[in-house]
Amino acid sequence: MQEAVTGRNYRNINVNLKKNAEWLYWGWFLVSILAKCFYFQFTTQANIRPFITSDNLRMLLSSFSIVLMVTSLVFMFSNRKRNIVLFIVNFLLITILVADTNFYRYYYNAISIPVFYQFDVTMVSSVDSSIMSLFKVKDILYLADLPVMIALLIYISKKSIAAHVAFKKRCVAGLLVLAVALTGFLGAYVKADRKSFSHDNNYVVKSMGVFYFHLYDAQSFIKEKMDEKIGISAEDKRSIKTFYEKKEKALDTGTDDKYEGIAAGKNLMVVQIEAMQGFVVNREINGKEITPNLNKLLKDSLYFNNIYYQVAGGNTSDAEFLTNTSLYPLKEGAVYHRFPENAYQSTANILKEKGYSTYSAHAFYPTFWNRNEMHKTLGFDKFLNQDDFVMDDFAGWDGASALSDMSFFRQTLDKIDTSKPFYSFLITLSSHHPFEYFKDYDFDVGELQDTYLGNYLKAANYADKSIGFLLEELKKRGLYENTLLAFYGDHSAVPKHQSQELFDFLGSEFSELSWTQLQKVPLIIHGPGLEGGQVINKIGGQIDVLPTIANLMGIEAPYALGKDMLNSSKGYAVLRNGTVITDDFIYLNNLREAYRPDNGELLPEDSYKEELYELQKQLDISDEIIFKNALKEDEKTGEP
């Protein structure tokens, strides 16, 4: 009896499954992909809790509609093929999600088309260790639907039970679903704050989902290409000029420039320190300073402690670009890869005209970030790269193949011709993510031993030690006193998905506001005639390095978009994602809200809107200059 019932039940299930297997297969696909989109938002920190917000609902509606659009097209395939095509589509969508997730964890951005400009073999193999460290076991969720999908697909194919629908009917059904999907999509689209899209890809992802982002990205890419072709008009030139004039007026202090030309004719050495964040400076762990040498240097220097990094997809190379040209990097991809043939006003180009010899140095593959091309464009006579160094000591990132900072500094000083004024731009490497190399490095981080943050603090301590060595060498060689020295960090070390560890260490709470306020790098300037021990807490960014140095060196940089940090009436920083930090408000582009910096109170839009738009316009002007090669000299006038 028992057996008979079981047998009948089994037969019933089988019949039902036969009837519904295809529905189940398609439904399972839709539900799974939606769950994955949701997971994506939170694991990448494109979005934070609560789970139910208007952004999230809009993101789900938009993603569901896009997936439905694709599904409706797949449905039009022949009866035999459509289930296999759906499987392939699912696989492609998974690939997009997995790739974007890992890219996000490192760059805090989704992959955009311009990113592909920067893929070469050295680049991919070098970031391998960084990227591999970003996979998380929970990401298995992206594949969790596959066993059921495969089982159903095999079942459907074996039993040949794909519902036979005539071509005409398939088209009608497909078009109907397409219409529903379009309606859903438009519903989400009209509700999104599309004005915030232009500065921030993350906001596009956050509010319309990662699939929409890729469509948006393709469209923007085509538009940019067309703009590039059209080139610059007289009207564009006029509006750029007016912008500079207005900016100059707004920042004028009405007094003579402080420290103007104090280092004129001296050497200039700028050191960009890999992943050196502001919070490590003047901080101790277990009673020991993390950066004792930088801390000591501060006593003899100007310390700018409110400098935000402004890099985007070009990471290290963006920092180089910001400080050497005083233009913003691009929203997508690295300007080093995308516009290496443009004309730029740069520190090296200006100093060369004054008779300086100019060197850049970075002991890594010359092609990485396209430096071999771009450093020429930026006016460096010589780019000292891996091929110029004896690989006698290794440390950090790519432990086995990256020259240690210590050896890098020692060898670089031997290579610079110091018999005439020089500008040298040194880019360190050892303290590069994921910092695991320093796990056993001799610097006690107590409880943080064997943690991501602990390894970073050790790396920062190593970088600091090498800087101590560099300073000693400069003194020994008689260069310390006649060189204007600037040190700054290139970008963050702690990504957002690792923020909790950092807030625990600092003893504070995560909020979008406090997170943004942590995105600072130290800027230290030491020079002859500069009174040491001054802390300058004016708000600025990496874009301000060139104009500040230009004033000290007594040179002109009229096309700098940044400000002279020692002679401007206002402090502010515009981040590449459209976030703006000023003394009066902090506008977070991902939330489209502004807060009072002192007490975190939410501000009414009217109180900051005008200034916000004016400052954000700098991003558009910078883009226009780059896309249209606006600083290229006119053959007739010799002027840009």
Closer of 331 and 526 to ligand GP9 (Cβ): 331
Closer by beta carbon to Mn ion, 82 or else 520 = 520
Tokens of residue 497, six digits: 């998905």
State the binding partner of 407 from Mn ion, ligand GP9, none, CB within 5 to 8 A by kind: none
Q: Judged by CB under 6 A, how many residues of this single chain contact ligand GP9? A: 8
Q: Which is nearer to ligand GP9, 339 or 364 (CB)?
A: 364
**Cα separation of 419 and 478, whole Å?**
12
Q: Taking the complex as a whole, how short is the minimal distance between the CB of residue 477 and ligand GP9, in angstroms?
A: 26
Q: Is 346 in the site for ligand GP9 (CB under 6 A)?
A: no
* C-alpha distance from residue 558 to each of 390, 547, 564 (Å): 40, 9, 11
One of 32, 220, 316, 347 touching ligand GP9 (CB under 6 A): 316
Among 103, 243, 364, 595, which residue interacts with ligand GP9 (rule: CB under 6 A)?
A: 364
CA gap 113, 632 in Å, rounded: 26
Q: Which does 22 bind (CB under 5 to 8 A by kind): ligand GP9, Mn ion, none?
A: none
- Nearest approach, Cβ of 67 to ligand GP9 (angstroms)? 33
Instruction: Give the Cα separation of 330 and 620 in Å (integer).
Output: 10
- Note whether 337 binds ligand GP9 by CB under 6 A: no
Please tell me the number of Cα atoms within 13 Å of 75 on its side-chain side: 25
State which residue has the least CB distance to Mn ion: 316
State which amino acid sits at residue 624: E
- How far is C-alpha 526 from the chain's CA centre? 29
List binders of ligand GP9 among 425-444 (CB under 6 A).
429, 432
The alpha-helical segments, DSSP class H, found in 44-120 are 54-75, 82-107
CB under 8 Å to 456, separation ≥6 — which residues?
275, 431, 435, 493, 494
Q: CA–CA separation, 615 vs 562, rounded Å?
A: 11
Between 43 and 126, name the residue whose CB sits nearer to Mn ion. 126
Measured from the CB atom, the residue of 222 and 391 that comes closer to ligand GP9 is 391
217 binds, among ligand GP9, Mn ion, none (CB under 5 to 8 A by kind): none
- CB 278, min distance to ligand GP9, A: 17
Rank residues 212 and 336 by Cβ distance to ligand GP9 and give the closer one. Answer: 336
User: Quick one: 384 or 521, whose CB is closer to Mn ion?
Assistant: 521
Q: Which amino acid is at 609?
A: K
Q: How many CB atoms neighbour CB 20 within 10 A?
A: 12
**Least distance from C-beta 139 to ligand GP9, angstroms?**
21
Kindly tell me which of 118 and 568 has the beta carbon lying closer to Mn ion: 118
Residue 508 burial (CB count, 10 A)? 12
> Does position 412 bind ligand GP9 by CB under 6 A?
no
In the complex, what is the shortest distance from the CB of residue 348 to ligand GP9, in angstroms, rounded to a whole number? 18
Q: Does residue 324 touch ligand GP9 according to CB under 6 A?
A: no
Closest to ligand GP9 by CB, 356 or 487: 487
- Main-chain phi, psi angles of 371, to 5 degrees: -65, -35
Please give the Cα distance from 341 to 359 (Å, whole number).
19
Does the protein bind ligand GP9 through residue 315 (CB under 6 A)? yes
Q: Which does 364 bind (CB under 5 to 8 A by kind): Mn ion, ligand GP9, none?
A: ligand GP9
β-strand 302-308 against 534-536: which pairing, if any?
parallel
Residue number of the CB closest to ligand GP9 reads 315
Q: Please, what is the end-to-end C-alpha distance for the chain in angstroms?
A: 94
302 beta partners: 525, 534
Q: Which does 398 bind (CB under 5 to 8 A by kind): ligand GP9, Mn ion, none?
A: none
Residue 82 in contact with ligand GP9, rule: CB under 6 A: no
Look up residue 372 and give its two tokens: 């071999």
List binders of ligand GP9 among 228-257 (CB under 6 A).
none
Three-class secondary structure of residue 303 per DSSP: strand
Q: Which is nearer to Mn ion, 55 or 318 (CB)?
A: 318
Report the residue number, 93 or 127, with the smaller CB distance to Mn ion: 127
Residue with tokens 């110029």: 388
User: For residue 634, how many C-alpha atoms fall within 13 Å in the half-sphere facing its CB?
Assistant: 9
Least distance from ligand GP9 to the Cβ atom of residue 540, Å:
21
| Residue of 294, 275, 411, 272 lying closest to 347 (CA atoms) | 272
Residue 55 interacts with which of ligand GP9, Mn ion, none, CB < 5 to 8 Å by class: none
CB of 412 to ligand GP9, least distance (A): 15
Interface stretch with ligand GP9, choices 284-292, 364-372, 548-556, 572-580 (CB under 6 A): 364-372
Shortest distance (Å) from residue 482 CB to ligand GP9? 29
Cβ pair 73, 178 in contact under 8 A: yes
Among candidate residues 329, 314, 369, 375, the one with its CA nearest the CA of residue 348:
375
Q: Name the one range near ligand GP9 by CB under 6 A: 259-267, 323-331, 362-370, 451-459.
A: 362-370
| Residue 144 CB coordination number (10 Å) | 13
| 310 touches ligand GP9 by CB under 6 A | no
Helix, strand, coil percentages, rounded to 5, for the chain = 55, 10, 35
- Residue 456's binding partner out of ligand GP9, Mn ion, none, with CB under 5 to 8 Å set by partner kind: none
Smallest gap from Cβ 284 to ligand GP9, in A, equals 26
Q: Rounded distance, CA 212 to CA 217, Å?
A: 8
456 binds ligand GP9 per the rule CB under 6 A: no
Verify binding: residue 375, ligand GP9, rule CB under 6 A: no
**Can residue 458 be called a binding residue for ligand GP9 (CB under 6 A)?**
no
E strand residue ranges, 247-388 = 267-273, 284-285, 288-289, 302-308, 357-361, 382-384
Cα-based distances in Å from 566 to 250, 440, 489, 583:
15, 41, 19, 16
In the complex, the residues that contact Mn ion under the rule CB under 5 A are: 274, 316, 490
Least distance to ligand GP9, CB of residue 296, Å: 26
Shortest separation between residue 466's beta carbon and Mn ion, angstroms = 15
Task: With H, G, I as helix, E, B as strand and everything else as coil, classify residue 164.
Answer: coil
Residue 608 engages ligand GP9 in binding (rule: CB under 6 A): no
Q: Are strands 422-427 and 483-489 parallel, antiparallel or unpaired?
A: unpaired
Write down the least CB distance from residue 433 to Mn ion, Å. 8
Angle at Cα 338 formed by Cα 335 and Cα 342, nearest 5°?
A: 80
Residue placing its CB nearer to ligand GP9 in the complex, 434 or 547 = 434
Question: How far apart (Å, rounded) are the C-alpha atoms in residues 336 and 115?
Answer: 11
**Cβ proximity to ligand GP9, 336 vs 559, nearer residue:** 336
Contact between 75 and 173 (Cβ < 8 Å) = yes
Residue 368 binds which entry of ligand GP9, Mn ion, none, CB below 5-8 Å type-dependent: ligand GP9
- Judged by the rule CB under 6 A, the positions of this chain that interact with ligand GP9 are 315-316, 362, 364, 368-369, 429, 432
